[in-house]
């Protein structure tokens, strides 16, 4: 049953050194505030699972928190490469990084299978693809009816998943709207789940019956962190801060610049800073 | 009639022309997104554009920076979860055309966007495949757009991120892949199509003003030209205006946000 | 791309003798009008797929249209047995009926796999269950990571699916709300799909972004048939006619009574009768 | 204190008492639905009720006739598709208690709702399993409610619709089933629980006024009674009123519709 707590408390209660952790959100609703709190708490030896590692894992990898990353697209969407991730893979800085690489289809199916309580996901994929040769977690299953060879990957079962959502109600049920990505699956696949939200509303009586809602008994902690997705966005609250994504490229390109930026913008701040970061992005663009 | 245009503009417009009103397109970011939206704003108003973020039937007014910008959801017929997108819509065989870009491309349409150098100890670690491995095998056919360069168009790619025609001929069928694979390559210099038998990309038309030598000088394999090599029709005023207006709206929107 | 046609035309265009056909709707939105039109057109040798055969398949079986039925629960929900189905299985009346019986989980997974273009569905099921011994379409697959034995069933891929939905817009996109069942999967799994709707609206601009919408290019025909789900219901339009479900038990119990009822209420009517059947059920109950 | 009550009422109320505030229940129609809603309206207001139609966290004011009545959706926290229901919520291991009824039941909690007689040429074709085969294996534990009869409680069931404890002992574990299986049987005459070792259902308490002989006379196997056999606590006034009000509201609502 979801408890309402501060983000600091939620991270301390749920994220441990060595955990397999997913911070999910497909472009939309990326839980930046939760990642920054995890960075401040200095967790280590994490296995980071995420379809698109994006800025959040670039930051955690650069801060030396990751033992391994499980992913399907390690780019800065629309901008270019992830330079801290590259530096870790190419130069072992700040230390070596283990890589388990999949396709989007495989990762999406692996989350789905995790939510479904299955040990593996079965799908039609990786035909002729090189990843099969470098990832021993890509295997095969034969359809017992047609004989077709299908791909199989292990399901994703994180120790803990962090997501950002638009709203919780007073009971701690959580509503996700718009581009919903794999968040429902990432929460249901995990042992524990922490959700940061833009706001708490009285009830969801006026919400569509088939909207994406996570009941409170699927969630460990709910934390109210307005702006907690910035520079990603929260549909209906504020738009994507594309300029910050572009700026990240230069920041991450240089180890010293990166460290300075992390100190100034993450280590010396707390979760309350996010509300101010979205001031100029509310209701913009439309 | 038509004004001056850049090779980039020609590439986007030539790709847009290959799309029809009844196509269901799986759109990537960059040139594919521009081409698909130019098609939608010119000759194919009813084309269905799908982005892998789950947005089905989008009609964005400006080009998204990422594949999951809010505009895509706001203008979509419906927005589904990512597992459903990859299971029901892509794997389900409902996409007629998938668009892919490439860091490295070979003459059989095989694509590398994973690593330059050895996978275990790469010289350059690229973003990786994302949706590409299954886009390449599940869409009815694949269109590729890229700027020509010796670094990009190579005899042998370093990693098979997504499978095109493999080593050519019937290699796809031999692997049990039922879809057509790459049927079109539009570069900044030319329009290419695979040879019906060997499946090697062959230049079918040169963009206006481009020579065979320019195409060969920026391509790492020995280029085959069609016997009936033509010239790509120059962009019409409408096509060019549509593309430029779209880019201007996009620039204004993205800069506005940065302010 | 969806065409707007009469139901008569849609059935004539899409349903052929010998087809594998699904008329779906899980308690809610059962396409009664479409079934009655299929009965009037006298299709034969059908393989009827449906999780809960319900009154609609009881009627088609009793009318001798079914060669085979693929299902998971052959009851009249909350009332009792399906007496025409029983008569066919127990006494071969009006002729022998082939039966392929699954669990709900298997059927739901089989529709899902059909929509996903897969040859089979893989799930954890049928452990210790007797259906494994009497249905050769229940097989096994071994997880290549854990060694766990999982169940596999063939995906459902109907020649044609019929569903009833609340609304279409002018373009032929279809909206389903409330208890959505397996309708989306049943449509996406099929080669052809026919949707009867309560009404056509201008557009879906005010609909939730994650509502269950089938784009027009996934549908063959859209037919406006107000009341087309009766005695099932259409959430937001009219409630379930529980009394009719109770009454069916007595009608179906007797071959002659059944035949009379079918003549009077189906054969001598057309699709327009459904609008009058829901007159007293609109806005009731709330 | 308590008024006269029927065996049916006792059965429903005894089952309701076994449910707690933090339970997540997969509810069937009939007695289970009444028991779950009585629990919700008395001692377990925060209990989560899930119907296989996809409605999660429902709080119906009247009992539904079918598992998919509109009331269930209208009062639910959310309503999901049926494939998701069976994959994420049931198979995902999120249900603590599944309720099953039975046409035939044996002493190890194995259930038949498929056929009486031979499967290929049945004497009576019953509705079949519906969700039961996987409810029986995926829910944390299983509660069974049924009225006792020699026809229903039999030495050997004609068909294994859903697996209880098989032939007893560790049979479940031997089949790789990790959940507890049937842990409670509430009939119109008694409350039964499986023996910790043999897993045979054993009568733990007789409903008020019921004798051992009555239980044995309506049960097709030789009944075991617990050494510390007790008497089921009679329904309280609150329990009885809650159940009767619920049934009255339900009757009024369903008859209202028939008019």
Chains that touch A (3 or more CB pairs under 8 A): B, C, D
Question: Is residue D130 packed enough to be buried (19+ CB in 10 Å), middle (13-18) or exposed (0-12)?
Answer: buried
Note the pLDDT tens digit of each residue in D151-192: 999 999 999 999 999 999 999 999 999 999 999 999 999 999
The CA distance from A53 to A99, in Å, is 12
Q: Hey, of C106, C113, C123, C145, which one would you mutate to test binding to chain A, going by the most A CBs within 10 A of its CB?
A: C145
pLDDT, one tens digit per residue, over A2-26 is 999 999 999 999 999 999 999 999 9
Two structure tokens written together for B155: 């005899």
Query: What is the reported pLDDT for D70?
Result: 87
Kindly indicate the confidence band of residue D1, based on its pLDDT and cuts at 50, 70 and 90. very low
Contacts of A193 in chain D (CB under 8 A): none
Q: What is the pLDDT of residue D71?
A: 87
| Chain D contact for C75 (CB, 8 A cutoff) | yes
Q: Does the pLDDT of residue A280 top 80, yes or no?
A: yes
Size of interface C-D (CB pairs under 8 A): 198
Q: Does C178 touch chain B (CB under 8 A)?
A: no
What's the confidence (pLDDT) of residue A160? 98
Distance CA B65, CA B38 (A): 16
How sure is the predictor about D257, in pLDDT bands with cuts at 50, 70 and 90?
A: low
Nearest-Cα residue of chain A relative to residue C146: A119
Does the distance separating the beta carbons of A74 and B129 come in below 8 Å? no
Interchain pair A210, C177: CB under 8 A: yes
In B183-242, the residues whose Cβ lies within 8 Å of chain A are none
Q: Does the distance separating the beta carbons of A213 and D91 come in below 8 Å?
A: no
In which band, very low, low, confident or very high, does the pLDDT at B256 lie, cut at 50, 70 and 90? low
pLDDT for the residue numbered B257: 53
Cross-chain Cβ contact C116/B76 below 8 Å: no
For residue B32, CA distances in Å to B15, B18, B151, D27 come to 8, 12, 21, 49
Structure tokens at A85: 């991730």
Which residues, in sequence order, are bridge partners of residue C120? C154
Q: What is the pLDDT of residue A286?
A: 42
Q: What angle do CA D18, D21, D24 make, to 5 degrees?
A: 80
**Between D7 and C283, residue with greater pLDDT:** D7
What is the average pLDDT across C30-56?
Answer: 98
Residues of chain B contacting residue A179, judged by C-beta atoms under 8 Å apart: 53-55, 68, 70, 72-73, 79
Q: How many CB atoms lie within 10 A of CB A144?
A: 17
Q: State the pLDDT confidence band at C285, using cuts at 50, 70 and 90.
A: very low
- Residue D204 pLDDT class (50, 70, 90 cuts): very high
**Contact at CB, C112 and D55, closer than 8 angstroms:** no
Residue B46 scores a pLDDT above 50: yes
Rounded Cα gap, residues A262 and A248, in angstroms: 11
- Tell me how crowded residue C69 is: count the other CB atoms within 10 A of its CB: 23
- What confidence score (pLDDT) does residue A31 get? 98
With a cut of 50, say whether residue D258 has pLDDT above it: no
Output phi, psi for B27, to 5 deg: -100, 135
CATH superfamily of B7-258: Glutaconate Coenzyme A-transferase (3.40.1080.10)
CB < 8 Å to B126, chain A: 81
* pLDDT of B44: 97
D56-76 pLDDT, tens digit per residue, is 999 999 988 887 888 899 999
pLDDT in tens, C128-164: 999 999 999 999 999 999 999 999 999 999 999 999 9
The separation between the first and the last C-alpha atoms of chain C, rounded to the nearest angstrom, is 37
Instruction: Determine which helix (DSSP H) or strand (DSSP E) holds B115, and give its type and residue range.
Output: strand B115-117
Instruction: Verify whether the Cβ–Cβ distance D65 to C78 is below 8 Å.
Output: yes
Nearest Cα neighbor of D11 from D148, D118, D127, D139 is D148
Cβ–Cβ below 8 Å for C173 and B77 = yes
Residues of B in contact with C215 (CB under 8 A): 48, 56-57, 77-78
Q: pLDDT confidence of B1, banded at 50, 70, 90?
A: very low
Query: Tokens representing D25?
Result: 């229940």
The mean per-residue pLDDT over the stretch A99-119 comes to 98
Report whether pLDDT(A174) > 80: yes
Q: Residue B3 corresponds to which tokens in the numbers above?
A: 């004004």
pLDDT of amino acid D256: 60
Identify the CA nearest to C174 among candidates C240, C228, C220, C117. Answer: C220
- Residue B259's pLDDT band, with cuts at 50, 70 and 90, is very low
Inter-chain Cβ pairs, chain A and chain D, closer than 8 A: 43
Domain residue ranges of chain D, discontinuous segments joined by +:
7-258
Residue D228 C-alpha, separation from nearest chain C C-alpha, in angstroms: 33
pLDDT in tens, C60-107: 999 999 999 999 999 998 889 999 999 999 999 999 999 999 999 999
Is C215 within 8 Å of B56 when comparing Cβ atoms?
yes
Task: Express each pLDDT in C174-202 by its tens digit.
Answer: 999 999 999 999 999 999 999 999 999 99
In chain A, where the domains are located: 3-102+157-280, 116-154
Arithmetic mean of pLDDT, B85-112: 97
Distance from CA of A117 to the nearest CA of C (A): 9
Note the pLDDT tens digit of each residue in B29-44: 777 899 999 999 999 9
Residues 138-157 on B with a CB inside 8 Å of A are 138
In this complex, do A211 and C208 lie within 8 Å of one another by their Cβ atoms?
A: yes
Own/partner pairs, A280-285, CB within 8 angstroms, 24+ separation: A280/B259, A281/A230, A281/A233, A281/A238, A281/A239, A281/A241, A281/B257, A282/A237, A282/A238, A283/A238, A284/A238, A284/A239, A284/B256, A284/B257, A285/A239, A285/B70, A285/B71, A285/B253, A285/B256, A285/B257
Instruction: Name the residue among C31, C57, C285, C2 with its Cα closest to residue C166.
Output: C31
Beta bridge partners, C193, equal C161
Alpha-carbon distance A203 to nearest alpha carbon in chain B (angstroms): 24
Q: What is the pLDDT of residue B67?
A: 78
CA distance D221 to chain A (A): 37
Are B78 and C116 within 8 A, CB to CB? no
Touching C: D residues 72-101, CB under 8 Å: 72-74, 79-83, 85-87, 90-91
As a whole number, the mean pLDDT across chain A is 96
CA-based nearest distance D62→chain A, Å: 19
Q: Which residues of B are annotated as catalytic? A: 52
Share of chain C above pLDDT 70, in %: 99
- With contacts defined as CB-CB under 8 Å, which chain D residues touch C79? 65
- CB-count burial class (<10 Å; 0-12, 13-18, 19+) for D170: exposed
- Give the chain A residue nearest B62 (alpha carbons): A285
Cβ within 8 Å, pair C116-B93: no
Cβ density class C3-18: b for 16+ within 10 Å, e for less: eebbbeebbeebbeee
Determine the distance in angstroms separating the CA of C106 from the nearest CA of chain D, rounded to an integer: 9
For residue B97, how far is the Cα from the chain centroid? 9
Per-residue model confidence as pLDDT tens digits over A70-89: 999 999 988 899 999 999 99
pTM of the model: 0.97
Residues of A in Cβ contact (< 8 Å) with C207: 208
Q: Is B256 on the interface with A (CB under 8 A)?
A: yes
DSSP letter for each residue of chain D? ------HHHHHHHHHHHT--TT-EEEE-SSHHHHHHHHHHHTT-TT-EEEETTTEES---SS--SSTT-HHHHHT-SEE--HHHIIIIIIITT--SEEEE--SEE-TT--EE-SEEE-SSSEEEE----TTHHHHHHHSSEEEEEE---TTTB-SS-S--SB-SSTTSTTHHHHTT--S--EEEEEESSEEEEE-TTT--EEEEEEPTT--HHHHHHT-SSPPEEEEEEEEPPPPPHHHHHHHHHHHHHHHHHHHHHH-
Touching partners of C (3+ C-beta pairs < 8 Å): A, B, D
Q: What's the rounded Cα separation, in Å, for the pair A257 and B55?
A: 36
> For residue A273, with 0-12 CB atoms within 10 Å meaning exposed, 13-18 middle and 19 or more buried, which class applies?
middle
> Measured between CB atoms, which of A1, A117, A211 is closest to D92?
A117
In this prediction, what percent of chain D has a pLDDT beyond 70?
97
Chain B: residue nearest C111 by CA?
B88
Contact yes or no for C48/C70 (Cβ under 8 A) = yes
Determine the residue of chain D that is closest to A213 in CA distance: D78
Query: How confident is the model at residue C73, as a pLDDT?
Result: 96
Burial of C243 (0-12, 13-18, 19+ CB in 10 A): middle
Any chains having at least 3 CB pairs less than 8 A from chain D are A, C
CATH 3.90.105.10 for domain A3-102+157-280, yes or no, is no
C178 interaction partners in chain A (CB closer than 8 Å): 209-210
Residues of chain C with Cβ-Cβ distance to A116 below 8 Å are 123
Q: Cα(D65)–Cα(D68) distance, rounded to whole angstroms? A: 8
| Chain B residues within 8 A of C209 when measuring between CB atoms | 73-74, 76, 78-79
Residue C284 is predicted with a pLDDT of 55
């Amino acid at each position: 049953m979801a408890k309402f707590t501060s983000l600091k408390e939620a991270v301390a209660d749920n994220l441990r050194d060595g955990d397999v952790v997913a911070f999910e959100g497909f472009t939309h609703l990326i839980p930046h505030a939760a990642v920054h709190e995890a960075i401040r708490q200095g967790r280590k030896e994490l296995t980071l699972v995420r379809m698109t590692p994006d800025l959040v894992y670039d930051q955690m990898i650069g801060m030396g928190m990751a033992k391994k990353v499980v992913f399907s697209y390690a780019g800065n969407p629309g901008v270019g490469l992830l330079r801290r991730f590259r530096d870790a893979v190419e130069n072992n800085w700040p230390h070596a990084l283990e890589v388990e690489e999949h396709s989007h289809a495989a990762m999406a199916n692996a989350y789905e299978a995790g939510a479904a309580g299955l040990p593996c996901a079965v799908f039609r994929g990786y035909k002729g693809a090189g990843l099969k040769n470098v990832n021993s977690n890509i295997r095969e299953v034969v359809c017992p009816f047609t004989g077709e060879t299908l791909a199989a990957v292990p399901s994703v079962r994180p120790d803990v998943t962090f997501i950002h959502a638009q709203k919780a109600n007073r009971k701690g049920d959580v509503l996700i709207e718009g581009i919903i990505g794999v968040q429902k699956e990432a929460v249901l696949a995990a042992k524990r789940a922490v959700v940061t939200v833009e706001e708490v509303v009285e009830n969801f009586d006026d919400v569509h019956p088939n909207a994406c809602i996570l009941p409170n008994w699927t969630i460990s902690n709910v934390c109210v962190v307005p702006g907690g997705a910035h520079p990603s966005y929260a549909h209906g609250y504020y738009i994507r801060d594309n300029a910050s994504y572009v700026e990240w490229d230069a920041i991450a390109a240089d180890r010293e610049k990166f460290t300075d930026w992390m100190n100034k913008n993450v280590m010396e701040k707390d979760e309350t800073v996010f509300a101010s970061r979205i001031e100029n992005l509310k209701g913009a663009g439309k | 009639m038509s004004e001056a245009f850049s090779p980039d503009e020609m590439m986007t417009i030539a790709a847009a022309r290959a799309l029809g009103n009844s196509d269901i397109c799986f759109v990537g970011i960059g040139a594919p997104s521009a081409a698909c939206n130019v098609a939608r704003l010119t000759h194919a108003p009813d084309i269905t554009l799908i982005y892998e973020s789950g947005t089905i039937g989008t009609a964005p007014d400006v080009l998204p920076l990422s594949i999951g910008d809010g505009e895509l959801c706001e203008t979509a017929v419906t927005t589904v979860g990512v597992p459903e997108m990859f299971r029901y819509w892509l794997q389900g065989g409902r996409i007629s055309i998938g668009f892919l870009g490439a860091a490295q491309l070979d003459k059989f349409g095989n694509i590398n966007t994973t690593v330059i150098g050895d996978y275990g100890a790469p010289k350059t670690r690229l973003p990786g495949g994302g949706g590409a491995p299954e886009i390449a095998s599940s869409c009815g056919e694949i269109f590729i757009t890229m700027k020509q360069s010796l670094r990009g168009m190579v005899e042998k790619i370093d990693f098979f991120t997504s499978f095109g025609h493999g080593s050519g001929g019937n290699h796809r069928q031999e692997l049990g892949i039922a879809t057509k694979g790459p049927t079109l390559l539009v570069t900044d210099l030319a329009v290419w199509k695979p040879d019906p038998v060997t499946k090697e990309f062959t230049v079918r038309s040169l963009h206006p003003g481009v020579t065979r030598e320019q195409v060969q000088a920026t391509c790492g394999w020995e280029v085959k030209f069609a016997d009936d090599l033509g010239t790509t029709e120059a962009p019409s005023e409408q096509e060019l205006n549509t593309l430029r207006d779209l880019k201007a709206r996009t620039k204004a929107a993205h800069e506005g946000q940065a302010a």
